[in-house]
């Protein structure tokens, strides 16, 4: 879907996730690029989030992750690759700068996102209310544990905060593609796609999006069959 979108619009503006789930998606993009079938030369990317308190060149940052899985292998122009600057001292200013850059680029054409086991998208964690714009987030313990693999397996080394794209920016993307794999995501995928729309499960807000697609492997989709049977 992303490759097709890039071929249709070489100036595509993409929202991109980090994490374990999208690794095979990035490998596929790299393979297509290597076979000469995908040109990123004019594509613009905006990542969903970045840890705060890490230097810009810290290998544990999401910027470094993106370079490792995609940037190092395709012809993305570095001036068109955007992540929030987690090392900024004035995070409010940085958040405004990031949102303005997204607006100037014309908004996100396709936002590819993952889902946390607690239903978060980006780092929009379950809460009574969600922020529309880029903002500072205090990471939940479960989100720090889920990111420990980038920090030598030590959750306490994971930064306590991150800058995250807001739910408004994600929902304004023309198309949203939600990726989920593995049995550990089955229950939350079922709640997000078939349960009530609630800020307690941020991904459930995608139910009201005009053009949202969930791409699931069988394990992550397992709870959907159960949900359908329950309601039958
Ligand atoms: C990462 C992000 C997060 C992850 C989610 C799933 O940029 O925004 O919402 O997509 O935590 O992470 P994985 O894929 O590691 O299970």
Ligand 1 atom, smallest distance to 21 CA = 14
Q: What is the pLDDT of residues 135-182, one digit of tens each?
A: 999 999 999 999 999 999 999 999 999 999 999 999 999 999 999 999
Residues with Cβ within 8 Å of 12's Cβ and at least 6 positions away in sequence, in order, are: 5, 6, 43, 44, 109, 110
Q: Rounded distance, CA 127 to CA 124, Å?
A: 8
Active-site entry in 50, 120, 124, 147: 120
Q: Rounded distance, CA 64 to CA 105, Å?
A: 23
Please confirm, yes or no, whether 120 is among the known catalytic residues: yes
Best of 108, 114, 145 for a ligand 1 pocket test (most atoms within 8 Å of beta carbon): 114
Kindly give the pairing relationship between strand 175-180 and strand 212-216. Answer: parallel
pLDDT of residue 133: 98
pLDDT of residue 115: 98
pLDDT of residue 225: 76
Ligand 1 atom, smallest distance to 49 CA = 7
Name the residue with the closest Cα to ligand 1, atom 2: 122
Beta strands in 70-109 (DSSP E): 81-82
Q: Is the C-alpha dihedral spanning 117, 119, 125, 126 positive or negative?
A: negative
pLDDT of residue 231: 59
Q: Rounded distance, CA 113 to CA 171, Å?
A: 11
| Exposure of 144 in the CB half-sphere (CA atoms within 13 A) | 15
Q: Which of 232, 132, 9 is nearest to 124 (CA)?
A: 132
221: Cα separation from own chain's centroid: 19
34: Cα separation from own chain's centroid: 24
Q: Is 197 helix (H, G, I), strand (E, B) or coil?
A: coil
Which stretches of the chain score pLDDT less than 50? none
pLDDT of residue 202: 98
pLDDT of residue 56: 76
């Amino acid at each position: 879907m992303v490759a097709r979108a890039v071929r249709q619009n070489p100036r595509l503006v993409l929202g991109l996730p980090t994490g374990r789930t999208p690794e095979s998606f990035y490998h596929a993009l790299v393979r297509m690029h290597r076979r000469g079938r995908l040109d990123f030369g004019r594509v613009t990317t905006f990542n969903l989030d970045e840890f705060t308190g890490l230097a810009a060149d810290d290998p544990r940052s999401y910027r470094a992750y993106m370079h490792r899985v995609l940037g190092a292998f395709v012809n993305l122009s570095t001036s068109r690759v955007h992540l929030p600057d987690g090392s900024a001292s004035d995070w409010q200013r940085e958040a405004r700068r990031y949102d303005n850059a997204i607006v100037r680029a014309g908004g996100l054409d396709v936002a590819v996102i993952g889902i946390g086991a607690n239903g978060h998208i980006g780092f929009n964690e379950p809460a009574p209310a969600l922020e529309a714009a880029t903002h500072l987030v205090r990471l939940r313990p479960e989100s720090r544990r889920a990111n420990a693999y980038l920090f030598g397996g030590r959750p306490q080394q994971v930064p306590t905060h991150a800058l995250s794209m807001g739910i408004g920016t994600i929902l304004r993307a023309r198309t949203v593609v939600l990726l989920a794999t593995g049995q550990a995501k089955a229950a939350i995928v079922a709640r997000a796609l078939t349960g009530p729309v609630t800020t307690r499960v941020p991904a459930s807000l995608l139910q009201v999006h005009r053009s949202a697609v969930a791409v699931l492997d069988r394990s992550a989709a397992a709870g959907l069959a159960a949900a359908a049977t329950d309601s039958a």
